[in-house]
Structure 1
Amino acid sequence: MVHPLPRFRPMGDRSILVELGDTISPDVNRRVQQLMLQLRQAPLPGVREIAPGYRSLLGPDLEAVADHLSISTDEVIRLHTETIYRVYMIGFTPGYPYMGELPAALAVPRRSTPRTRVPKGSVGIAQRQTGIYPVESPGGWQIIGWTPLELFDPLRQLPSLLEMGDRVKFEAVRQVEI
C-alpha cells in the first residue's frame, strides 16, 4: 500500500500537527501509532474491557439498528462484543473515545436528527465506529448500550481513562449486573 507523505502543520508556537492520512482507517491509525511509539519510546497499554448494558431501556436505538440491518438485537450485541476495537482518538467531548473498526455488518448511519441530550455512559455506533459518551452531551450516534464506567475524571492524574492506541473489548451484561 502506498502511503502519502506526512504533512507537518504549525499549531501555535509550541506544537505541530502531523497528518498521516486523510481518512479514519486501521492503516492510518497504525501509522499514527508507530509515530507515537517512536516519540514516547514506550509500549502502549493493553486491552481494556468495558461492560455496556445492551437493553432497549439502556440502548434506545438497539431495536432500530437491528431493524435497519435486518438482524436480531442479539446479533447486534454479538457483533459488537466479538470485536476488539482500537481507540483511534479522543475528542468531541473530554474523554470521548472514537474506536474502530466496527464490523461492516454493523455499519449504520448517524441519526437523521441528533439528540440534544445523550446520557453519560451511552455506547453508540455510527458508520464503522463505536464510542462511549463520557459526559452528558448532544449526539447523533445510534445508542445501543450503556456502561457505568467513569471514562473522564478531571481530578485523575490522567483524566481520560482511555488513550489513543488502547484496545477495548465490550462485554454484554444483564441489567441486574449494572
Structure 2
Amino acid sequence: MRVKVLRVGHEALLIEVGSGEEVAALHAELVRLRAAGTLGVVREIVPAARTVLLDGVEDAPALAGRLPGWEVPPLVPAAGPEVVIPVRYDGPDAAEVAELWGAPVAEVMGSVAFRVAFCGFAPGFGYLTGLPERFHVPRRATPRTAVPAGSVALAGEFAGVYPRSSPGGWQLVGSTDAVLWDPHRDPAALFTPGTRVRFREVGVWSGCGGCGGRGGR
C-alpha cells in the first residue's frame, strides 16, 4: 500500500491512499495499533473515501516519518461489530432499481454483507460499502427536496440510511424505524466506521426491537 502523508496544522496528519479498500484496511490497523498502545497518542482516527485523518497526534512529525514504510495487513471482512437493520422495501424507487438489477431489491440487499466505510453528510449517516459492481446504481437526475428519516437508499457503490429528513438525490428502496442517531446513546451513532451491517426484510412492523444494539437479530 502506497500512502501519502500530509501535515494538517500542528497535531494532525492526513493520509491519502489509492482506494476505499485501502482506507478500510488502514483504518482497522490504526485502530488496532492505538488500542495496543503502539501508535502513540492519537485522539481521533477519521476515515473518508480515500483518506484517513489522524487528529490530536502527540508527535506528528515522528508519526509522519513512520507511516510511509508501514506494511498494512489486508482487512478481515468479519472483523467489527454487527448491526441488523429491519427494513420494509417500500421505497418509491424500489421497482425501478429491481428492474435495473433484474432481481428483487430484498433479495439483493439481504445477500450483501455491508460495512460502514465512513460517516458524513449528517450526524448518524454511514456510507455502506459491499454492493457488487453490477448492482451499483446512479444518483437521481433530480434530487428530492425532502427524503423521510429512515429511508434506505442507494447511490453509486454506496448504500445508506437517512437519519433525519433532508434533501437527497439517492435512490430510495426501503424504510426502517431504526434510530440512526441518538445523542443520549453511547455511541450516539448506530453506524460507526468498521461496523458490519445486514438488512433484514420485515413486513408490517413498528418499532426497532434489538436493532439499536450491536449484533442483535
TM-score range, shorter chain: 0.7 to 0.9
Matched, 1:51 2:83: no
Q: What is the identity percentage for the equivalent residue pairs of Structure 1 and Structure 2?
A: 36
Matched, 1:34 2:29: yes
Q: Any stretches of 5+ residues in structure 2 without a counterpart?
A: 38-78, 207-217
Distance 1:76 1:158 in 2: 30
Distance 1:170 1:142 in 2: 16
What amino acid sits opposite 1:177 in the alignment? W
1:84 matched to which residue of 2? 113
Distance 1:36 1:47 in 2: 17
Distance 1:164 1:40 in 2: 16
Question: Which one of the candidate residues 41, 60, 65 is aligned to 2:97?
Answer: 65
Please, what TM-score do these two structures have when normalized by structure 1?
Answer: 0.83
Q: Residue 116 of structure 1: CA displacement?
A: 1.1
Question: Which structure exhibits the higher relative contact order, with contacts defined as CA atoms closer than 8 Å and separated by 6 or more residues?
Answer: 1
- SS of aligned partner of 1:177: coil
Distance 1:9 1:53 in 2: 45
2:66 matched to which residue of 1? none
The Cα offsets for residues 121-151 of structure 1, whole Å up to 9 and x where unpaired, read as: 1110111111111111111110111110001
Q: Any stretches of 5+ residues in structure 1 without a counterpart?
A: none
- SS of aligned partner of 1:51: strand
The Cα offsets for residues 64-122 of structure 1, whole Å up to 9 and x where unpaired, read as: 112233x24xx221111111111001111011010112122321101111111111111
Distance 1:9 1:122 in 2: 38
Please, what TM-score do these two structures have when normalized by structure 2?
Answer: 0.69
Distance 2:10 2:130 in 1: 34
Q: Which has the larger radius of gyration?
A: 2
2:197 matched to which residue of 1? 168
Aligned residues: 165
1:177 matched to which residue of 2? 205
- Alignment RMSD: 1.9
What amino acid sits opposite 1:52 in the alignment? V
Matched, 1:15 2:12: yes
CA contact (8 A) 1:87 1:98 kept: yes
Matched, 1:116 2:149: no
